Amino acid sequence: MATKSALTPTRCGSLELRWGERTYVMGIINLSPDSFSGDGLGANIEAAVAQAKCFVADGADIIDVGGESTRPGTEPKTIDDVEGELQLVIPVIERLASEISAPISIDSYKPKVALQALKAGAKMINDIWGLKKSPLLAQIADEAGVPIILMSNQRDAPVQDIMPTIISDLERAIALVRQNGVPEHNIIIDPGIGFGKTLEQNLEMMRRLAELKVLRKPILLGSSRKSVIGLVLNLPADQRIEGTAATIAIGIANGADMVRVHDVEEMVRVCRMSDAIIRRR
């Protein structure tokens, strides 16, 4: 059972993340038209703004905006291939920064995208490569004074022993951001559900999520609609809401501090019920 956290609160824009008090919810705005989850909005700015406003009304604490698909089988673009991504994310972030109360996170591993997103109003960086693609993101986070999420990604090198690998990978990323001056309270970790891990490794990782507490950092869980759920239940992405709910409830019991989700209204309810049991909130 989760216990009261000793972690220092994190400031993200106007939001103070008081770790351990409750589970925070990050709502996903996918602007890539080929998103794995089938919810990619493309260049439809009005639809993206409307969805974000709906997410905030449903209880999302942070809105995560991304413009490049990370679906299995896609080849990551180069660090400097940013024009298409910028055209998708910057107009949406600019609108959201002036129209919603929740802070905005930029889901990108590219320094040029992160920098422009922060200038447009984003208050957090979400790096799915944990600085493997560009350590420069750490310097950008430090200079902007914003939190950075470091994810463990095995797509470049599949492994056998998953938990030691994840912990070692996150230790590497944490060391890099420290070297660049990012304060401890602005570092968040994500074990990376999917992203080069097998079905068995994903299930094992969720069972053993509490082992990440050794790193003394808030834990983000991004299991929403992931293929591990589809493989277990034999369901397409748009029918994985119950499976997602199960992973989130178990994740909170095992120490997750924040969840990144597509179905905000339903998962806010899952978090509140789980918090009532686990955190006695």
In a domain, 24, yes or no: yes
Residue 247 has pLDDT above 50, yes or no: yes
Catalytic residue chosen out of the listed positions 112, 226, 240, 279: 226
For residue 33 the two structure tokens come to: 């038209």
Contact 49, 93 (CB under 8 A): no
Q: What is the pLDDT of residues 207-233, one digit of tens each?
A: 999 999 999 999 999 999 999 999 999
In a domain, 33, yes or no: yes
In a domain, 15, yes or no: no
Q: What is the pLDDT of residues 17-70, one digit of tens each?
A: 999 999 999 999 999 875 544 455 667 899 999 999 999 999 999 999 999 977
The percent helix, strand, coil of the chain (3-state, each to 5) is: 45, 15, 40
Catalytic residue chosen out of the listed positions 155, 197, 225, 260: 260
Residue numbers of the domain that contains 217: 20-278
Q: What is the pLDDT of residues 174-207, one digit of tens each?
A: 999 999 999 999 999 999 999 999 999 999 999 9
What mean pLDDT is predicted for residues 113-117?
Answer: 98
Share of the chain above pLDDT 90, in %: 86
CATH of the domain at 67: 3.20.20.20
- The per-residue pLDDT of the chain, averaged, comes to 93
- Is 112 known to be catalytic? no
Strands (E), 3-80: 10-12, 15-17, 24-30, 62-66
In a domain, 2, yes or no: no
In a domain, 266, yes or no: yes
In a domain, 82, yes or no: yes
In a domain, 1, yes or no: no
- Is 18 known to be catalytic? no
Count up the domains in the chain and report the number.
1
The pTM (predicted TM-score) of the whole model is 0.93
In a domain, 12, yes or no: no
